[in-house]
Amino acid sequence: MADITAAMVKDLREKTGVGMMDCKAALAATNGDMEAAVDWLRAKGLAKAAKKSTRVAAEGLVAVAVDGTTGAVVEVNSETDFVARNEKFQAMVAEISKLALKANGDTEILKTMKVPGSTHAVAEYVAELVAAIGENMTVRRTALLAVKDGVIGSYVHNQIAPGMGKIGVIVALESTGNKASLAEFGRMLAMHVAATNPVALTLEQVPADVLARESAILEEKNAGKPANVLEKIVASGLKTFAKENCLLEQAYVHDGAKTVTQAIADAAKAAGADVKLTGFVRMQLGEGIEKKEDDFAAEVAKMSGN
Protein backbone atom coordinates (compact mmCIF):
# COMPACT_ATOMS: atom_id res chain seq x y z
CA MET A 1 0.00 0.00 0.00
CA ALA A 2 1.33 3.43 -0.96
CA ASP A 3 2.27 5.93 1.74
CA ILE A 4 -0.35 8.67 1.87
CA THR A 5 1.50 11.92 2.57
CA ALA A 6 0.10 15.20 3.80
CA ALA A 7 1.14 16.79 0.49
CA MET A 8 -0.97 14.25 -1.43
CA VAL A 9 -3.97 14.93 0.76
CA LYS A 10 -3.50 18.68 0.32
CA ASP A 11 -3.21 18.32 -3.46
CA LEU A 12 -6.41 16.25 -3.69
CA ARG A 13 -8.24 18.69 -1.45
CA GLU A 14 -7.25 21.59 -3.71
CA LYS A 15 -8.36 19.64 -6.79
CA THR A 16 -11.75 18.67 -5.39
CA GLY A 17 -12.62 21.03 -2.55
CA VAL A 18 -13.45 18.01 -0.38
CA GLY A 19 -12.46 17.72 3.30
CA MET A 20 -9.10 16.33 4.38
CA MET A 21 -10.44 13.18 6.04
CA ASP A 22 -12.42 12.24 2.93
CA CYS A 23 -9.40 12.97 0.71
CA LYS A 24 -7.22 10.75 2.87
CA ALA A 25 -9.81 7.96 2.69
CA ALA A 26 -10.02 8.31 -1.10
CA LEU A 27 -6.25 8.08 -1.50
CA ALA A 28 -6.10 5.07 0.81
CA ALA A 29 -8.87 3.35 -1.14
CA THR A 30 -7.10 3.94 -4.47
CA ASN A 31 -3.54 3.16 -3.31
CA GLY A 32 -2.45 6.78 -3.73
CA ASP A 33 -3.64 7.15 -7.34
CA MET A 34 -4.66 10.82 -7.60
CA GLU A 35 -6.99 10.51 -10.61
CA ALA A 36 -8.60 7.38 -9.23
CA ALA A 37 -9.08 9.18 -5.92
CA VAL A 38 -10.91 12.00 -7.71
CA ASP A 39 -13.19 9.43 -9.35
CA TRP A 40 -13.70 7.73 -5.98
CA LEU A 41 -14.85 11.01 -4.44
CA ARG A 42 -17.10 11.72 -7.41
CA ALA A 43 -18.66 8.28 -7.05
CA LYS A 44 -19.35 9.05 -3.39
CA GLY A 45 -21.01 12.31 -4.41
CA LEU A 46 -18.46 14.41 -2.51
CA ALA A 47 -16.53 15.94 -5.39
CA LYS A 48 -19.66 17.67 -6.63
CA ALA A 49 -18.92 20.33 -4.07
CA ALA A 50 -15.82 21.41 -5.98
CA LYS A 51 -17.79 21.93 -9.18
CA LYS A 52 -20.03 24.39 -7.38
CA SER A 53 -17.23 26.31 -5.70
CA THR A 54 -16.86 28.97 -8.40
CA ARG A 55 -20.49 30.02 -8.23
CA VAL A 56 -21.28 33.21 -6.33
CA ALA A 57 -22.97 32.46 -3.01
CA ALA A 58 -24.55 35.71 -1.86
CA GLU A 59 -27.82 34.41 -0.39
CA GLY A 60 -28.16 32.28 2.72
CA LEU A 61 -28.63 33.21 6.36
CA VAL A 62 -27.15 35.29 9.14
CA ALA A 63 -27.58 33.53 12.49
CA VAL A 64 -27.26 34.81 16.05
CA ALA A 65 -26.52 32.63 19.09
CA VAL A 66 -26.35 33.87 22.69
CA ASP A 67 -25.25 31.83 25.68
CA GLY A 68 -25.18 33.75 28.94
CA THR A 69 -22.73 36.63 28.60
CA THR A 70 -21.40 35.54 25.19
CA GLY A 71 -22.95 36.15 21.80
CA ALA A 72 -21.92 35.24 18.26
CA VAL A 73 -23.06 36.10 14.76
CA VAL A 74 -22.27 33.99 11.71
CA GLU A 75 -23.02 34.33 7.99
CA VAL A 76 -23.45 31.16 5.94
CA ASN A 77 -24.03 31.75 2.25
CA SER A 78 -25.86 29.81 -0.43
CA GLU A 79 -26.52 30.62 -4.08
CA THR A 80 -30.28 31.04 -3.78
CA ASP A 81 -32.83 32.18 -1.24
CA PHE A 82 -34.69 28.93 -1.96
CA VAL A 83 -31.92 26.93 -0.30
CA ALA A 84 -31.88 29.36 2.64
CA ARG A 85 -35.44 28.16 3.33
CA ASN A 86 -34.41 24.51 3.20
CA GLU A 87 -34.78 22.84 6.61
CA LYS A 88 -31.48 20.95 6.26
CA PHE A 89 -29.63 24.19 5.48
CA GLN A 90 -31.26 25.94 8.43
CA ALA A 91 -30.38 23.06 10.76
CA MET A 92 -26.76 23.25 9.58
CA VAL A 93 -26.61 27.02 10.14
CA ALA A 94 -28.10 26.61 13.63
CA GLU A 95 -25.36 24.10 14.55
CA ILE A 96 -22.65 26.33 13.14
CA SER A 97 -23.94 29.37 15.06
CA LYS A 98 -23.72 27.43 18.34
CA LEU A 99 -20.15 26.42 17.56
CA ALA A 100 -19.36 30.07 16.77
CA LEU A 101 -19.80 30.83 20.47
CA LYS A 102 -16.50 29.00 21.06
CA ALA A 103 -14.63 30.14 17.93
CA ASN A 104 -13.62 33.52 19.42
CA GLY A 105 -14.74 35.34 16.28
CA ASP A 106 -12.25 33.44 14.09
CA THR A 107 -13.83 32.03 10.92
CA GLU A 108 -10.95 29.68 10.15
CA ILE A 109 -11.11 28.19 13.64
CA LEU A 110 -14.88 27.79 13.24
CA LYS A 111 -14.41 25.83 10.01
CA THR A 112 -12.17 23.29 11.76
CA MET A 113 -14.45 22.72 14.76
CA LYS A 114 -16.16 19.34 15.02
CA VAL A 115 -19.94 19.31 14.52
CA PRO A 116 -21.74 17.56 17.41
CA GLY A 117 -23.01 14.12 16.40
CA SER A 118 -20.71 14.03 13.38
CA THR A 119 -17.15 12.96 12.65
CA HIS A 120 -16.70 15.96 10.36
CA ALA A 121 -15.49 19.48 10.97
CA VAL A 122 -17.68 22.39 9.87
CA ALA A 123 -15.95 22.71 6.48
CA GLU A 124 -16.59 19.03 5.64
CA TYR A 125 -20.13 19.26 7.04
CA VAL A 126 -20.84 22.11 4.62
CA ALA A 127 -19.23 20.21 1.72
CA GLU A 128 -21.53 17.25 2.39
CA LEU A 129 -24.61 19.44 2.17
CA VAL A 130 -23.28 21.05 -1.03
CA ALA A 131 -23.05 17.57 -2.52
CA ALA A 132 -26.55 16.67 -1.30
CA ILE A 133 -28.32 19.89 -2.37
CA GLY A 134 -26.17 20.70 -5.41
CA GLU A 135 -25.53 24.36 -4.63
CA ASN A 136 -22.43 26.23 -3.50
CA MET A 137 -22.35 27.18 0.19
CA THR A 138 -19.72 28.90 2.29
CA VAL A 139 -19.17 29.84 5.92
CA ARG A 140 -18.22 33.42 5.16
CA ARG A 141 -17.56 35.13 8.50
CA THR A 142 -18.25 35.17 12.21
CA ALA A 143 -17.90 37.61 15.10
CA LEU A 144 -18.18 37.38 18.88
CA LEU A 145 -18.87 39.66 21.84
CA ALA A 146 -18.68 38.87 25.55
CA VAL A 147 -19.06 40.71 28.86
CA LYS A 148 -17.90 39.76 32.35
CA ASP A 149 -21.17 40.89 33.91
CA GLY A 150 -24.21 42.14 32.04
CA VAL A 151 -26.06 40.94 28.95
CA ILE A 152 -25.66 40.40 25.23
CA GLY A 153 -28.67 41.91 23.50
CA SER A 154 -29.64 40.47 20.13
CA TYR A 155 -32.00 40.98 17.22
CA VAL A 156 -32.57 39.24 13.89
CA HIS A 157 -34.24 41.14 11.06
CA ASN A 158 -36.31 39.41 8.37
CA GLN A 159 -36.26 36.28 10.50
CA ILE A 160 -37.21 33.13 8.60
CA ALA A 161 -36.28 30.64 11.32
CA PRO A 162 -35.48 31.06 15.04
CA GLY A 163 -32.32 33.14 15.34
CA MET A 164 -31.77 33.30 11.57
CA GLY A 165 -32.56 35.94 8.96
CA LYS A 166 -31.11 38.63 6.70
CA ILE A 167 -29.54 40.87 9.38
CA GLY A 168 -28.15 39.78 12.73
CA VAL A 169 -27.11 42.14 15.53
CA ILE A 170 -25.56 41.66 18.96
CA VAL A 171 -24.73 44.39 21.48
CA ALA A 172 -22.62 44.02 24.64
CA LEU A 173 -23.90 45.78 27.77
CA GLU A 174 -21.60 45.67 30.81
CA SER A 175 -23.56 46.15 34.04
CA THR A 176 -24.33 44.68 37.46
CA GLY A 177 -27.93 45.85 37.11
CA ASN A 178 -31.19 43.96 36.73
CA LYS A 179 -30.66 41.42 33.95
CA ALA A 180 -34.27 41.31 32.75
CA SER A 181 -34.33 45.08 32.35
CA LEU A 182 -30.96 45.02 30.60
CA ALA A 183 -32.05 42.24 28.26
CA GLU A 184 -35.11 44.20 27.11
CA PHE A 185 -33.05 47.32 26.49
CA GLY A 186 -30.38 45.24 24.75
CA ARG A 187 -32.94 43.93 22.28
CA MET A 188 -34.24 47.46 21.61
CA LEU A 189 -30.71 48.74 21.10
CA ALA A 190 -29.92 45.84 18.75
CA MET A 191 -33.01 46.79 16.73
CA HIS A 192 -31.66 50.35 16.56
CA VAL A 193 -28.33 49.08 15.22
CA ALA A 194 -30.12 46.97 12.60
CA ALA A 195 -32.02 50.04 11.41
CA THR A 196 -29.21 52.63 11.42
CA ASN A 197 -26.12 50.57 10.54
CA PRO A 198 -23.59 52.65 12.53
CA VAL A 199 -19.95 52.74 11.48
CA ALA A 200 -18.51 52.72 15.01
CA LEU A 201 -19.33 53.50 18.63
CA THR A 202 -17.62 56.91 18.58
CA LEU A 203 -15.89 59.18 16.08
CA GLU A 204 -12.53 58.13 17.55
CA GLN A 205 -13.26 54.52 16.58
CA VAL A 206 -14.17 55.26 12.96
CA PRO A 207 -11.55 53.74 10.62
CA ALA A 208 -8.92 56.27 9.55
CA ASP A 209 -9.62 55.77 5.84
CA VAL A 210 -13.31 56.57 6.36
CA LEU A 211 -12.49 59.79 8.24
CA ALA A 212 -9.94 60.75 5.58
CA ARG A 213 -12.52 60.27 2.85
CA GLU A 214 -15.13 62.36 4.68
CA SER A 215 -12.58 65.10 5.33
CA ALA A 216 -11.50 65.11 1.67
CA ILE A 217 -15.09 65.49 0.51
CA LEU A 218 -15.65 68.44 2.86
CA GLU A 219 -12.41 70.06 1.73
CA GLU A 220 -13.31 69.64 -1.92
CA LYS A 221 -16.77 71.13 -1.40
CA ASN A 222 -15.23 74.15 0.28
CA ALA A 223 -12.10 74.55 -1.85
CA GLY A 224 -10.72 78.07 -1.99
CA LYS A 225 -11.72 79.08 1.54
CA PRO A 226 -9.05 80.22 4.01
CA ALA A 227 -7.25 77.41 5.83
CA ASN A 228 -8.58 78.41 9.27
CA VAL A 229 -12.16 78.53 7.96
CA LEU A 230 -11.74 75.22 6.14
CA GLU A 231 -10.46 73.60 9.33
CA LYS A 232 -13.61 74.65 11.22
CA ILE A 233 -15.84 73.46 8.38
CA VAL A 234 -14.20 70.04 8.38
CA ALA A 235 -14.47 69.76 12.18
CA SER A 236 -18.15 70.72 12.05
CA GLY A 237 -18.79 68.32 9.20
CA LEU A 238 -17.22 65.43 11.09
CA LYS A 239 -19.45 66.21 14.09
CA THR A 240 -22.45 65.89 11.79
CA PHE A 241 -21.01 62.65 10.42
CA ALA A 242 -20.70 61.34 13.99
CA LYS A 243 -24.34 62.14 14.80
CA GLU A 244 -25.42 60.18 11.75
CA ASN A 245 -22.95 57.28 11.87
CA CYS A 246 -21.53 56.81 15.38
CA LEU A 247 -23.80 54.73 17.59
CA LEU A 248 -23.44 56.62 20.86
CA GLU A 249 -24.22 59.94 19.16
CA GLN A 250 -27.08 58.79 16.94
CA ALA A 251 -30.68 59.78 17.62
CA TYR A 252 -32.32 56.76 19.28
CA VAL A 253 -34.80 55.29 16.80
CA HIS A 254 -37.29 54.39 19.53
CA ASP A 255 -37.31 57.98 20.85
CA GLY A 256 -35.90 60.58 18.47
CA ALA A 257 -35.70 63.17 21.25
CA LYS A 258 -32.85 61.22 22.83
CA THR A 259 -29.41 60.13 21.70
CA VAL A 260 -28.32 56.54 22.24
CA THR A 261 -26.07 57.78 25.05
CA GLN A 262 -29.11 59.29 26.77
CA ALA A 263 -31.10 56.10 26.21
CA ILE A 264 -28.30 54.13 27.88
CA ALA A 265 -28.44 56.51 30.86
CA ASP A 266 -32.18 55.87 31.17
CA ALA A 267 -31.57 52.13 30.93
CA ALA A 268 -29.05 52.40 33.77
CA LYS A 269 -31.69 54.02 36.00
CA ALA A 270 -34.18 51.28 35.16
CA ALA A 271 -31.59 48.55 35.81
CA GLY A 272 -30.39 50.11 39.04
CA ALA A 273 -26.71 50.26 38.05
CA ASP A 274 -24.38 51.86 35.53
CA VAL A 275 -24.54 50.48 32.00
CA LYS A 276 -21.65 50.59 29.54
CA LEU A 277 -22.04 49.70 25.88
CA THR A 278 -18.75 47.95 25.12
CA GLY A 279 -19.37 46.88 21.54
CA PHE A 280 -21.77 45.87 18.80
CA VAL A 281 -21.80 43.68 15.70
CA ARG A 282 -24.15 44.12 12.77
CA MET A 283 -23.95 41.52 10.03
CA GLN A 284 -26.06 41.83 6.89
CA LEU A 285 -26.44 38.97 4.46
CA GLY A 286 -24.32 39.32 1.34
CA GLU A 287 -22.91 42.78 2.09
CA GLY A 288 -19.70 43.33 0.16
CA ILE A 289 -20.24 40.35 -2.14
CA GLU A 290 -20.22 41.25 -5.80
CA LYS A 291 -23.07 39.37 -7.39
CA LYS A 292 -22.64 38.25 -10.98
CA GLU A 293 -25.24 39.79 -13.25
CA ASP A 294 -26.06 37.57 -16.21
CA ASP A 295 -26.41 39.34 -19.58
CA PHE A 296 -29.26 37.27 -21.01
CA ALA A 297 -29.24 39.03 -24.40
CA ALA A 298 -25.51 38.42 -24.83
CA GLU A 299 -25.96 34.79 -23.83
CA VAL A 300 -28.70 34.28 -26.44
CA ALA A 301 -26.61 36.03 -29.11
CA LYS A 302 -23.66 33.78 -28.29
CA MET A 303 -25.81 30.66 -28.58
CA SER A 304 -27.20 31.76 -31.93
CA GLY A 305 -23.71 32.51 -33.28
CA ASN A 306 -24.25 36.28 -33.57
SS3 for 24? Answer: helix
Let me know: does 169 contact 145? Beta carbons within 8 Å.
no
> Using CA atoms, how far apart are residues 8 and 23, in angstroms rounded to an integer?
9
Q: Which amino acid makes up residue 167?
A: I
Let me know: does 260 contact 192? Beta carbons within 8 Å.
yes
**Selection from 181, 192, 164 nearest residue 280 by Cα:** 192
Per-residue pLDDT of the chain (306 residues; tens, 9 = 90+): 678 898 888 888 777 777 788 888 889 999 998 888 887 887 776 655 444 544 555 789 999 999 999 999 999 999 888 989 999 999 999 999 999 999 999 999 999 999 988 888 999 999 888 888 888 899 999 999 999 999 999 999 999 999 999 999 999 999 999 999 999 999 999 999 999 999 999 999 999 998 888 888 888 888 888 889 888 998 998 899 899 999 999 999 999 999 999 999 999 999 999 999 999 999 999 887 765 544 445 544 444 444
**Selection from 12, 87, 24, 80 nearest residue 52 by Cα:** 80
Task: For residue 129, count other CB atoms closer than 10 A to its CB.
Answer: 19
Let me know: does 177 contact 266? Beta carbons within 8 Å.
no
pTM: 0.76
pLDDT digits (tens, 9 = 90+) for 149-184: 999 999 999 999 999 999 999 999 999 999 999 999
Q: For the chain, what are the domain ranges? A: 6-52, 59-202+246-284, 204-244
Query: Looking at domain 59-202+246-284, which CATH architecture does it have?
Result: 2-Layer Sandwich (3.30)
Identify the CATH homologous superfamily for domain 6-52.
Ubiquitin-associated (UBA) domain (1.10.8.10)
pLDDT digits (tens, 9 = 90+) for 79-125: 888 989 999 999 999 999 999 999 999 999 999 999 988 888 999 99
> Using CA atoms, how far apart are residues 22 and 24, in angstroms rounded to an integer?
5
